[in-house]
Amino acid sequence: MATVRWTLTARRQYDELQASAHKAGQTRTMAGKSKSSRQEGLFKQVRKTLLLLADNPRHPGLQTHPYHSLESPFGPQTKVFEAYAQHRTTGAYRVFWCYGPGAGEITLLAITPHP
């Protein structure tokens, strides 16, 4: 299992998704509804993606592949990768990450809708 490091951007994006899901869950509960909201589902998918990524960055469900439009904070020799949190969804969320800075570590760069 890899050690996961966060950039400030990725942490902020994750916290915003979590807060939105929490607020939607409270609203849903107060309204007496049982079906999860879109925000709750999105957060659940992103959280699962991060767990899979930490366990095995090459997990087939992540469909991880190099992403060339972002630069690695660790220099040009380090590749940035894109992992899928959602599939076949308008504005599907992606997790951008790279290996490093140390051995056995990955750094989360961003959690955003597909550009």
Question: For the chain, which domains are there?
Answer: 3-113 (3.30.2310.20)
- Average pLDDT score over the chain: 93
pLDDT tens, position by position, 89-105: 888 999 999 999 989 99
Residue showing tokens 């942490």: 11
C-alpha closest to that of 2 among 67, 81, 94 = 81
**Residue range 62-91, pLDDT digits in tens:** 999 999 998 999 998 899 999 999 988 888
Q: H or E stretch including 95?
A: strand 93-99
CA distance 82 to 65: 6
Cβ neighbours for 42, distance < 8 A, ≥ 6 positions apart: 17, 21, 85, 86, 93
Within a 10 A sphere around the Cβ of 80, how many other Cβ atoms?
Answer: 20
Phi and psi at 24, nearest 5°, equal -65, -40
